[in-house]
Amino acid sequence: MRVFSKPNIIVSKCLGFANCRYNGAIISDDFADKLKPYVNFQPVCPEVEIGLGVPRDPVRIISMDGELKLFQPATEKDLTGKINDFCSSFLSSVEDVDGFMLKSRSPSCGVKDVKIYPGTDKGMAIDKGQGFFGKAVLDKLPYLTVEDEGRLTNFRIREHFLISIFNSAGFRQVKQQRSLRELAKFHTENKLMLMLYNQNEMRILGRIIANKDKKSLDSVVEEYEYHLFKAFSRIPKYVSSINVLMHGLGYFSKDLSHEEKAFFLDSLEKYRSKKIPLSVPANVLKSFIIRFKDEYLIQETFFEPYPEDLIEMTDSGKGRDL
């Protein structure tokens, strides 16, 4: 069983941490509750941070003269300067962050589908976009995993989020050790996961490790970090997962019985049909690894990318377009 470094996650404070919604409410979020023992949460509410009270009159994003502004209709206050100053100050001060979990559709925290209105007068929304804080996060920290609680009800998006934040936390620990040997070990343990996510970046990272003795430690780590986060920037396709599993099967194909191969391929087909999670065929393959005592594959993070207790098969179907 792997020992996991705790990811540092910035989270919208209203998601189970404080009654700070505009109406004084708090939002119960099962996934955030489940994560609490395994991550270090740093809750934040941008609207409270810029001086708005609880409860408060709602704010909205409006379009005026081609510019987006954060506006409070009841008081007619333009809060754009305050929210932009907060975003700049806050994001310049945070360190060692592994991901963000933000409130969906919020004019401050939303990362997509935030309503945009035509002006200060009452009317229907004319467009959708990002909240001010959500956009600032995506612009300043594009390499980090940023999701909202609504999208995280989708199984594949949630799994990608978990894999990414725990990978980031593991790499952060390697950076702190300042050891080329530990960096090479990290790379070896993540080869199958990199094969799953981005084979081109996997090859680039392999070349960085192969030439590590020709550059300074800082430059090697910096270059490796850039390509590592680039590799994990997109959710892998089902076919990529199947290719990795078949690659793993190749290590044992001569030693397995016909029935064992058939059982594995059946679980692979169920995964292809989206009836079971990746962890099921991966665990079948892991049983072969344990049986044949393959010391190389047993260390691969692919077979345990995040704590097992966080596996949850519920799927809202949201976010199917990604």
Please tell me whether residue 319 adopts helix, strand or coil conformation.
coil
Query: What confidence score (pLDDT) does residue 316 get?
Result: 55
CA 9 to chain centre: 10
- Per-residue pLDDT band for 320 (boundaries 50, 70, 90) equals very low
Q: Are residues 90 and 196 in the same domain?
A: no
Question: Are the C-beta atoms of 164 and 145 separated by less than 8 Å?
Answer: yes
Q: Are residues 162 and 258 in the same domain?
A: yes
Q: Left, alpha or beta for 250 (phi > 0: left; psi -120 to 50: alpha)?
A: alpha
Six token digits for residue 273: 């049909």
Q: Are residues 149 and 290 in the same domain?
A: no
Query: What confidence score (pLDDT) does residue 314 get?
Result: 64
Query: What confidence score (pLDDT) does residue 313 get?
Result: 59
Query: What confidence score (pLDDT) does residue 286 get?
Result: 93
276-293 pLDDT per residue, tens: 878 889 999 999 999 999
**Range 28-51 average pLDDT:** 97
Residue 21 lies in a domain: yes
**Range 103-124 average pLDDT:** 92
**Range 240-244 average pLDDT:** 94
Query: What confidence score (pLDDT) does residue 207 get?
Result: 95
Six token digits for residue 78: 């333009």
Q: Are residues 196 and 286 in the same domain?
A: yes
Number of domains in the chain: 2
Q: Are residues 203 and 142 in the same domain?
A: no
- What is the phi/psi pair of residue 48, to 5°? -70, -40
Residue 249 lies in a domain: yes
The whole-angstrom separation of Cα 116 and Cα 106 is 11
- Per-residue pLDDT band for 315 (boundaries 50, 70, 90) equals low
Query: What confidence score (pLDDT) does residue 318 get?
Result: 56
Q: Are residues 176 and 268 in the same domain?
A: yes
pLDDT score of 167 more than 80: yes
Domain containing 290 equals 155-313
Query: What confidence score (pLDDT) does residue 119 get?
Result: 84
Q: Are residues 217 and 162 in the same domain?
A: yes
Residue 123 lies in a domain: no
Q: Are residues 103 and 251 in the same domain?
A: no
Query: What confidence score (pLDDT) does residue 322 get?
Result: 44
**What separation in angstroms does the CA of 38 have from each of 134, 155, 166?**
24, 19, 10
Q: Are residues 166 and 226 in the same domain?
A: yes
pLDDT score of 196 more than 50: yes
Residue 147 lies in a domain: yes
**Predicted structure pTM score:** 0.92
Query: What confidence score (pLDDT) does residue 212 get?
Result: 76
End-to-end Cα separation, the chain, in angstroms: 31
Q: What radius of gyration, in Å, describes the C-alpha atoms of the chain?
A: 22
The whole-angstrom separation of Cα 17 and Cα 96 is 21
Q: Are residues 146 and 183 in the same domain?
A: no
Q: Are residues 164 and 308 in the same domain?
A: yes
- Per-residue pLDDT band for 121 (boundaries 50, 70, 90) equals confident
Residue 284 lies in a domain: yes
Residue 235 lies in a domain: yes
Residue 279 lies in a domain: yes
Q: Left, alpha or beta for 65 (phi > 0: left; psi -120 to 50: alpha)?
A: left
Residue 278 lies in a domain: yes
Q: Are residues 36 and 171 in the same domain?
A: no
